[in-house]
């Protein structure tokens, strides 16, 4: 990604990162990426497609994790090539950063790994954008340490994503004042509207969720001044192989983006 391409992602009213939780197939990824790109183009919102080749932190050992690094990167490369959109994926281990960085535009450090120094540094060394999801157990102030770990490699392309904070067992809450704190890092700050409704391990062997609240949270986040939205969506969420309890349908995601685009325009 050139500097001009990178800057163009940050010039819109809000940046949109959207896609399924995990790569189930190339067909499902294309079925999500195509409509989301079209919606964002119509609303003049910069768009990044997201999907994970591996979800290493699933609740249950038997849960579907994805196609793996090699097969997953081939699908992400296809999405990038055929739809001409930037792509994002999670990395969980230091050895995954370099090969993933050869394909994707944004490497995402999952929330549970936001303090892992070696992983953050290895992602930074790729020169790709590094999106650090705030740990559910971390304060907004602590994210400055994660940022500095990436910046120590010379990489200044860093985003932060808020995804809720643990509030007792199986519950997340959002503190929008954390936006002002994380803004002090001089990094764009993104709001994860779908994971913020998650109930971690709320179903025992799987996570639950309250996706009906995602539109409300997204609207509040954009009004508060977040630089972007992270939304997981799927053609048929109840049948999704990962996070079915929190993802939105494509129609729901479109309506949320239409509402949030108007709010972003009003805030100037």
Mean pLDDT of 210-237: 95
* Residues pairing with 47 in the sheet: 16
Mean pLDDT of 204-223: 85
| Whole-prediction pTM | 0.95
% of the chain exceeding 90 in pLDDT? 81
> Distance between CA atoms of 88 and 107, rounded to whole angstroms?
6
Mean pLDDT of 82-101: 97
pLDDT at 173: 92
Mean pLDDT of 183-200: 93
Sort residue 198 into left (φ over 0), alpha (ψ -120 to 50) or beta. Answer: beta
Q: What are phi and psi of 90, to 5 degrees?
A: -75, 150
Look at residues 116, 146, 119, 118 and name the one whose alpha carbon lies nearest to residue 132.
Answer: 146
Mean pLDDT of 231-240: 95
pLDDT for residue 204 is more than 70: no
DSSP letters for 215-257? HHHHHHHHHHT-SEEEEEB-SSGGG-SS-TTTPBPHHHHHHHH
pLDDT at 3: 84
- pLDDT tens column, 111-141: 999 999 999 999 999 999 999 999 999 999 9
Domains of the chain listed by start with CATH number? 3-267 (3.20.20.70)
Q: Are 48 and 28 in contact (CB under 8 A)?
A: no
pLDDT for residue 232 is more than 80: yes
Higher pLDDT, 203 or 60: 60
Q: Are 255 and 18 in contact (CB under 8 A)?
A: no
pLDDT for residue 177 is more than 90: yes
- pLDDT tens column, 29-81: 999 999 999 999 999 999 999 999 998 876 778 788 889 999 999 999 999 99
Question: Where does residue 26 rank: exposed (0-12), middle (13-18), buried (19+ CB within 10 A)?
Answer: middle
pLDDT for residue 205 is more than 70: no
* Mean pLDDT computed over every residue of the chain: 93
> Distance between CA atoms of 97 and 108, rounded to whole angstroms?
10
% of the chain exceeding 70 in pLDDT? 96
Residue 229 has which token pair? 């939205």
At 254, the pLDDT band (50, 70, 90 cuts) reads very high
* DSSP secondary structure code for residue 32 in this structure: H
pLDDT for residue 201 is more than 70: no
> Distance between CA atoms of 251 and 119, rounded to whole angstroms?
36
DSSP letters for 184-212? TTTS-EEEETTGGGEETTTTSSS-EE-GG
pLDDT at 64: 81
């Amino acid at each position: 990604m050139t500097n001009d391409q990178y800057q163009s992602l940050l010039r819109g009213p809000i940046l949109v990162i959207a896609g399924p939780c995990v790569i189930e197939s190339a067909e499902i990824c294309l079925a999500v990426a195509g409509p989301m790109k079209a919606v964002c183009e119509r609303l003049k919102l910069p768009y990044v497609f997201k999907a994970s080749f591996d979800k290493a932190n699933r609740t249950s050992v038997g849960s579907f994790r994805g196609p793996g690094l090699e097969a997953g990167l081939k699908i992400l490369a296809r999405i990038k090539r055929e739809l001409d959109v930037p792509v994002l994926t999670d990395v969980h281990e230091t050895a995954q950063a370099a090969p993933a960085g050869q394909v994707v535009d944004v490497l995402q450090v999952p929330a549970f790994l936001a303090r892992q120094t070696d992983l953050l540094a290895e992602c930074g060394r790729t020169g790709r954008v590094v999106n650090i999801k705030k740990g559910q157990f971390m304060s907004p102030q602590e994210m400055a340490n994660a940022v500095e770990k990436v910046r120590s490699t010379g990489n200044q392309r860093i985003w932060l994503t808020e995804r809720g904070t643990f509030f007792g067992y199986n519950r997340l809450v959002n503190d929008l004042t954390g936006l002002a704190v994380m803004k002090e890092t001089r990094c764009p700050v993104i709001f994860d509207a779908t994971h913020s409704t998650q109930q971690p391990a709320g179903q025992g062997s799987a996570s639950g969720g309250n996706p009906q609240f995602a539109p409300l949270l997204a609207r509040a986040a954009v009004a508060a001044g977040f630089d972007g939205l992270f939304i997981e969506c799927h053609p048929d969420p109840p049948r999704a192989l990962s996070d079915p309890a929190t993802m939105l349908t494509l129609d729901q995601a479109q309506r949320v983006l239409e509402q949030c685009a108007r709010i972003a325009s009003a805030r100037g």
